[in-house]
Structure 1
Amino acid sequence: MASGSDFKPDKDLSTICTKLWKLDTNRLVPGVDYSIDLQGYTRVSQRQDRADDPLFSHVNDNKLQQIPTFKFFIALLDNYSQETGVPEEVTEQEVQENWSFLNAAMETEVMKKAHRYLAKKKLVPKDEKQFKEALYDLWFKLYSRTRGMGRGNYDSSGFEHVFVGESRGHEDNREVTGFHNWIQFYLQEKAGHIDYKGWVPPRGVRRVTKKDRPNEKTHLLSLQFAWKSDTKPVGSSFIGTSPEFEMALYTVVFFSGRNGKNCIEIEDYDVEIVVHKMGDKLGSSYPVALADQQP
């Protein structure tokens, strides 16, 4: 367990998030379904490549296609333009793909539990169809992330930012924003679009010792990487978890947590789940790895 005296977990959120974690039966098994090669560590302020090899040395691709939520999730990842400021064009097929994923996610116990929890608190509709419509608006409804775009020219969504990733900037001052999903990372790495630079020590670690080094069974990592030459100085992601778990977790925190940092205990992890709200829209959500997080 972490951590410093400033870590004061929200008990109610911790309870429901731990229940969601335990219900994530589609989570892949480290060392069996996938293997990671952490290599060297780096810092947010550093740009030296500390990893010659990819992060993922093995992933069971069959499972990614056999588990419905994984399969439908992967189908969504090529539906977006990487560049912010470029209006997204959503086809009828892409809308159908969004609903296929949401429908599959709602068949899982983890998403059903999230719905029951939020509905009991009267934060979302009790009716499942209406809840799915609320999920669609939260995750897939487009909005403008870039100032100066014309009316109706929307370039982003919660799903794109959190799970797919975006890039912004000009010439030599470009960066990756969002991109907090391990499946997208693996697939982009496999396609040759990701250059993994090394793991970043959990927040609060100033002098890295052996006990601070993550192991292959760690389900939460902070990473530095380049995506199609654009840099992500640090990005935290769950590793091996199902897409429905992550969506359920961030949805629960969005509706019942607070904007910004939410201190939460999830099983053996003390984490911050950060939520950035843009009115009634999800701007971003991601986990922050803290010190002493080894299971």
Structure 2
Amino acid sequence: MKEGITIDLQFVAGSDEDLETAFLLNSSPAFEFAAYTVAALTNTQPTVAIQGENVDITAATLVQNGATVLDKVTISFEQGHKATTHHSGSGTTKRSSTDPALQTLVDQMWNVDQDRPSAAQVTLNWGTKISGKSGIKEGNLFANVDETLFTKKQYADLLTTYQNELFTADVCKAEAPMSGFRKQYLQAVFNAFTSTPMFSAAFDYLKAQNYKDTSDLETFKSKVLWPLWFGTYTRCKGALGSSGWEHVFSGELKSNEVDGQHDWVRYYTEQKKDKMVYNGYYTHDEDLIGTFQYHWQGATKPKGGFFTGTSPAFDFSILSVCALVHGNGGNCHFHVNNYPITVTSYLQQCGDGSGTCLSTAYPG
């Protein structure tokens, strides 16, 4: 909660559990109705000043039976001064960095990420910008991917987890036990990611922040990092059907909506199998990062996105840092290749008793 203005919370309603909800406090329904309507119809992220604090409002819409309807509203605090970037004929407003040590880390990670795709290896067709309503079917988001990239160890190990379908997408169905080949494949990609220079830099940053259990890397990996990503919990009041890894990398299905799925490699592999229907973009910064709308396995992702110009281990490392050090909400700000980025993340206690789990983490 922030000074009686907004509150972030988790709650259960019926058979569903919401892990990432925020709403305004001490405002009238008429004020909220007007603010959410403006955000939805103009497809902007308006900032309103409440008691001296700047609050950002994001409203996603869907088209149902030919009518545009409000789908989801997100409330977040503005951090620092706003900076405006322009790309491909459109503009977006983002926050600037507020942590010099974090920016130094990101710069170092970017420079040592030899596995990130070059501009020639991955090209995207962003298509049509969605303006105030749901988009319509476009061509594929990924126009071309040089798959020799996937011979690199971190990609090869990640693809093994996708090819073997190690997760049950439906959040209301319990995940399989962490044993046998399932544990073997996930342990392999975990080890691959944590053996990269990007993660080594991230771990040094966590040690400098005096984060718990960082005196020894193996202890940190087993006590903090593994539960963070692979500890299980419920999003459906009962079944331990979710984990941070499944949510962020593999993607989940909750009712008729795609939940999570913030890895470009996963999106591309599903696109190759004709399981992705791309509907257009909301924002993008060249081919580094974007937000867009799509359908997967018949479910809708009203507004989602991910880095498109980084390696998965880079994403894993920076998302871990943001979730562990920068708290719940959109509080992690930095620049990548001169573009301002905000990572939003939420933590919760694991339902299996293993420790603290990642509810979500995504860049925007």
TM range (shorter): 0.7 to 0.9
User: Alpha carbon RMSD of aligned pairs, Å?
Assistant: 2.0
TM-score scaled by structure 2? 0.68
Q: Of residues 148, 151, 172 in structure 2, which corresponds to 1:85?
A: 172
Q: CA deviation at 1:193?
A: 0.6
| Counterpart secondary structure, 2:199 | helix
Q: CA deviation at 1:142?
A: 1.3
Relative distance call for 1:175 and 1:122 in structure 2 (3 A) is: same
Q: CA deviation at 1:17?
A: 2.2
Partner of 2:325: 256
- Structural mapping, 1:1-295, within 5 Å: 2-3=83-84, 7-11=95-99, 12-30=101-119, 32-43=120-131, 46-49=133-136, 51=138, 53-64=139-150, 66-77=151-162, 78-90=165-177, 91-123=179-211, 124-133=213-222, 134-147=224-237, 149=238, 153-169=239-255, 174-201=256-283, 215=286, 218-262=287-331, 263-279=333-349, 280-288=356-364
Distance 2:148 2:104 in 1: 33
Distance 2:170 2:316 in 1: 23
Distance 1:235 1:109 in 2: 28
Distance 1:89 1:22 in 2: 38
**Are the counterparts in 2 of residues 182 and 237 from structure 1 also a CA contact under 8 Å?**
yes
TM-score scaled by structure 1? 0.83
Letter in 1 for 2:235: R
Q: Deviations over 1:233-275 (max 9, x none)?
A: 1112100311110010011111111210122223311111001
Distance 1:6 1:74 in 2: 32
Distance 2:109 2:325 in 1: 15
Q: CA deviation at 1:70?
A: 0.6
Q: Deviations over 1:9-56 (max 9, x none)?
A: 2223222222222221110112x212211111114x5233151x1111
**Are the counterparts in 2 of residues 40 and 50 from structure 1 also a CA contact under 8 Å?**
no
Question: What are the ranges of 5 or more consecutive residues in structure 1 without an aligned counterpart?
Answer: 203-213, 289-295
Q: CA deviation at 1:81?
A: 0.9
Question: What are the ranges of 5 or more consecutive residues in structure 2 without an aligned counterpart?
Answer: 1-81, 85-91, 350-355
**Are the counterparts in 1 of residues 96 and 341 from structure 2 also a CA contact under 8 Å?**
no
Q: Deviations over 1:99-123 (max 9, x none)?
A: 1112222221111111111123221
| Counterpart secondary structure, 1:201 | strand
| Counterpart secondary structure, 2:161 | coil
Q: CA deviation at 1:201?
A: 2.7
Distance 1:248 1:130 in 2: 17
Q: Deviations over 1:265-293 (max 9, x none)?
A: 233111110011114211000011xxxxx
**Are the counterparts in 1 of residues 194 and 200 from structure 2 also a CA contact under 8 Å?**
yes
Relative distance call for 1:5 and 1:74 in structure 2 (3 A) is: closer
| Counterpart secondary structure, 2:274 | coil
**Are the counterparts in 1 of residues 140 and 277 from structure 2 also a CA contact under 8 Å?**
yes
Distance 2:358 2:149 in 1: 29
**Are the counterparts in 1 of residues 229 and 243 from structure 2 also a CA contact under 8 Å?**
yes
Letter in 2 for 1:283: S
**Are the counterparts in 2 of residues 13 and 253 from structure 1 also a CA contact under 8 Å?**
no
Aligned length: 263
Letter in 2 for 1:73: L
Q: CA deviation at 1:61?
A: 1.8
Letter in 2 for 1:49: I
Q: CA deviation at 1:5?
A: 9.3
Distance 2:97 2:121 in 1: 31
Q: CA deviation at 1:139?
A: 0.6
**Are the counterparts in 1 of residues 232 and 357 from structure 2 also a CA contact under 8 Å?**
no
The structure showing larger relative contact order (alpha-carbon pairs under 8 Å, at least 6 residues apart) is 1
**Are the counterparts in 1 of residues 264 and 307 from structure 2 also a CA contact under 8 Å?**
yes
**Are the counterparts in 1 of residues 343 and 362 from structure 2 also a CA contact under 8 Å?**
yes
Q: CA deviation at 1:8?
A: 4.6
